[in-house]
Amino acid sequence: MAVLFLSTPERGAVFREVFARDLPDMPFHVGQAPDPHAVRYLVAWTAPEGLARDYPNLRLIFSVGAGVDQFDLAALPQDVGVVRMLEPGIARQMREYATMATLAMHRDLPAYLDQQRRGEWLPRMNVDAADRRVGVMGLGNLGQAVLESLRPFGFDLAGWSRSPRRIEGVACHTDLDAFLARTDILLCLLPLTAETEGMLDADLFDKLPMGARLVHLGRGRQLDADALRQALDSGRIAQAMLDVTEPEPLPAGHWLWRHPRVILTPHVASQTVAHEGALHVLAGIRADLRGQRPEGLVDRARGY
């Protein structure tokens, strides 16, 4: 049996070093395998074409990123499992980015950047953090990490998920309308599923308070960009910070590039730390060899 790594050569070199040190008896290949029939574990961002044909003995695919929506789970062989990346660096970086973005929305950074471009010196009225209601959609590992990082600032914190949660200091909701009605800054950290695709639409924006702000950290296909533009034009959404779009990258001339009340970043909120990612994959392979369930194994029926 062997491991095949199909991501960047730089990350592959780090993974190879970790496997040579900690699992030296497991052949580790980057880019291609001398014997595809020997490949039992695949580390990749997407599934290569002809996967079932070329790797008939494949058992697990390890995603190099936190998401797995880039895989067509229904098209994969039923006996092949998919494991999401759970290395701790992803949560650390997401905490950093979400905190930065929330504070940027809280302190009107898009408006000040626009004023700077126009050469205007116009102070705005500050709002105390205790009077700003922040809501996080998605209360998995990343959502909970983000809420923990926002706690010291004194925001009025809430979270929404489909299943009930209890988090100290956070008002947890399963009623989406009630959650949206009390949210001044909305952070989306939901996984992409059939239920969440297109969820950030005109109907959802209309349920937010007038002048709410949006931080989108989920997936680009969850956002109706035309609805966001209308919400920005009407003032329903005062400003937004987006780390994900559909497509990625955006085409030249897309309105999001130049909108004065939008800050756009190129899907950099969190990136896998190669060494820690290698340790996560290594632990998953060891668990599988012992007949145990790897941490992060996806429920393919639910898609996450």
Bridge-based pairing state of the strands 81-83 and 171-173:
unpaired
Question: Is the CB of residue 33 less than 8 Å from the CB of residue 2?
Answer: yes
* Cα–Cα dist 133/129, whole Å: 8
Please name the amino acid found at residue 44.
A
Query: Which residues are annotated as catalytic?
Result: 219, 267
Task: For Cα atoms 217, 197, 90, give the angle at the middle one, nearest 5 degrees.
Answer: 30
* Cα–Cα dist 271/291, whole Å: 30
CA dihedral defined by 137, 294, 18, 56, rounded to 10 degrees? Answer: -110
Give me the helix-helix angle, 274-289 and 9-22, nearest 10°: 50
Please name the amino acid found at residue 243.
D
Cis peptide upstream of residue 123 (ω within 30 degrees of 0): no
Question: Is the CB of residue 136 less than 8 Å from the CB of residue 143?
Answer: yes
